[in-house]
Amino acid sequence: MKILFLDSAHPSLKKELEKNNFICEEDFHSSKVEIEKKISQYEGVILRSRINIDKQFIDTGRNLKFIARVGAGMEHIDVAYAENKGIKCLSSPEGNRNAVAEHALGMLLNVLNNISKANNEVKNGQWNREINRGTELEGKTIGIYGFGNTGSAFAKLLRGFDVKILAYDKYKKYFGKDSVKESSIEEIFSEADILSLHLPLTDETKNLVNDSFIKRFKKNICLINTSRGPIIKTDDLVKNIKNGKIPGACLDVLEYEETSFELIQPVANNQQPTALQYLKSSDKVILTPHIAGWSFESSEKMARILAEKIISLTSK
């Protein structure tokens, strides 16, 4: 079976596939149009997020047996259309779930304890103790919206902090166990001090977290997003940071990312959206460049898991 890699991956993925008699070729630079001219030569394609796999691409790849995503989100692949054409769509969210969970926890502890703010102040000759007094996790209620791979991994890490964990997933039932309470979204609105988003980007979730959503929380709410940027309407987020409803935000993803997950960069920073400029300047916001699942360990794990799935699929 002949496979085309459209993005780089941990070398163990290619090595394991070749060991199992797959022919692996790479093209990390050609445009989508150029790839479509030759994709019919391949039975499998492996990528991260460099190009969109739409109906035209799928129709052109008439010999494709599978499309494999190194990672979790599948929003840039028309999965329904591909599978309707008999093309299996694979991903490896199991491989980076722990990395995402650890990153979310690290960002949360950072913002609650003013770590980045205090670090910058000390390095600039300021020794401000009282204004950097921290807030403990113990005794808080944490809402987890989406209880798939990363949501459940985040809950697992939280169990040692003596917190109440409420989890809501519209499409899953009977998952509550140990210290996790399966909850309604209304219960999270009523009780949560912290909300962590673990959702795919779909028509249903785009701009889900907007002003009306945020206003439904009874308490002021600390917000974590390690899923996809467009789930949050950034203008509304900034409005609620300014008015104190959101005293802290941890954002690994931004509404302004390209589909490749690179930040859309105007020539000058002052040409960036006003909301983005505010996020970059606010001491109440922790920003990272879509790296929550981007650990050295997750790279290897995602490759291993995807190789297993491809080999299993094609051996049937």
**Catalytic residue ranges:** 228, 257, 290
Measure the CA–CA gap between 22 and 307, rounded to whole angstroms: 11
* Placement of tokens 């166990």 in the chain: 177
Measure the CA–CA gap between 241 and 135, rounded to whole angstroms: 17
What region, left, alpha or beta, does residue 177 occupy, with left being phi > 0 and alpha being psi -120 to 50 degrees?
beta
Contacts with 316 (C-beta within 8 Å, 6 or more apart), sequence order: none
Angle between the N-to-C axes of helices 115-123 and 97-112, in degrees from 0 to 180, rounded to the nearest 10? 60
CA distances from 304 to 21, 98, 152, 182 (A): 16, 15, 21, 31
Both tokens of 171, joined, read 């499409």
Separation of CA 285 from chain center: 17
Burial of 89 (0-12, 13-18, 19+ CB in 10 A): middle
What's the number of CA atoms in the CB half-sphere (13 Å) around residue 149?
A: 18
* Placement of tokens 């599948």 in the chain: 74
CA distances from 253 to 23, 140, 263 (A): 35, 24, 9
